[in-house]
Amino acid sequence: MALGHAEVLLLMGPPGAGKGTQASKLARARQLLKLSTGDMLRNHVAQGSALGQQAKAIMEAGELVPDALIIAMVKEAIAAQNSDVRVLLDGFPRTPGQAEALETLLREFDTALTAAILLEVNEDELVARLLKRAQEEGRSDDNEATIRRRMQVYREQTQPLVDYYAAKSKLRRVSGEGSVEEVFARITEVLL
């Protein structure tokens, strides 16, 4: 692995597929800056910033925060890197508009996407994982009605990106079922 050179990975998949879990491991292993739009938004909500105030009700309803807000937030974080761009995007892009904005943004930084990793998990397992997290962490968007809505939003707005990245030969499909370590081993393998 050539550290110190640009690398841009993105992790996509339905809610509960393990994006956040795998993103932390992958960022550590490849020395990438992890940018999780979900975590960034939750921080804004916790701080009560203007963006957080706008995002709170949207997230609690299981809808997507408007593209313009998300894109500005990601751009600021990437621009803060002062050497080669080495980032792992977790949960971004989630719409075709975000995917196009990302391409433009990466061109501005003289780089391009390395690979888009898609974590695939069957829906019953997804719901079970998120309900378990609801009991353990009490996240305000982890209740059954919102979880179902997030799945539907994923199918309608984010799934088209699977074809988008496949057409660019950037898509790497990985089964997200099994233990965290098993999934991580599969991801490592598709990035060889």
**Residues near ligand B4P (CB under 6 A):** 15-21, 37-38, 41, 58-59, 62-65, 70, 91-92, 94, 98, 129-130, 133, 141, 150, 179-180, 183
- Closest CB to ligand B4P among 3 and 79? 79
139 as an active site residue: the answer is yes
- Rounded to whole angstroms, how far apart are CA atoms 39 and 18? 14
- Closest CB to ligand B4P among 5 and 103? 103
What is the signed CA dihedral for 20, 3, 171, 158, rounded to 10 degrees? 40
Q: How far is the CB of 98 from ligand B4P (least distance, A)?
A: 6
149 as an active site residue: the answer is no
155 as an active site residue: the answer is no
Q: For residue 119, what are the β-bridge partners?
A: 174
Q: Which member of 25, 139, 148, 149 is catalytic?
A: 139
Q: Which member of 19, 42, 86, 129 is catalytic?
A: 19
Tell which residue, 18, 39, 27, 14, has the closest CA to residue 188. Answer: 27
19 as an active site residue: the answer is yes
Q: How far is the CB of 22 from ligand B4P (least distance, A)?
A: 7
Q: How far is the CB of 154 from ligand B4P (least distance, A)?
A: 8
Give the SS3 label for residue 81. Answer: coil
Q: Which member of 25, 30, 75, 133 is catalytic?
A: 133
What is the signed CA dihedral for 27, 157, 131, 36, rounded to 10 degrees? 20
The first and second tokens of residue 14, run together, are: 């339905």
- Rounded to whole angstroms, how far apart are CA atoms 33 and 128? 30
Alpha carbon separation from 80 to 2, 20, 40, 75, 182 (Å, rounded)? 22, 22, 15, 9, 33
- Closest CB to ligand B4P among 1 and 64? 64
133 as an active site residue: the answer is yes
Query: Which residues form the catalytic set?
Result: 19, 94, 133, 139, 150
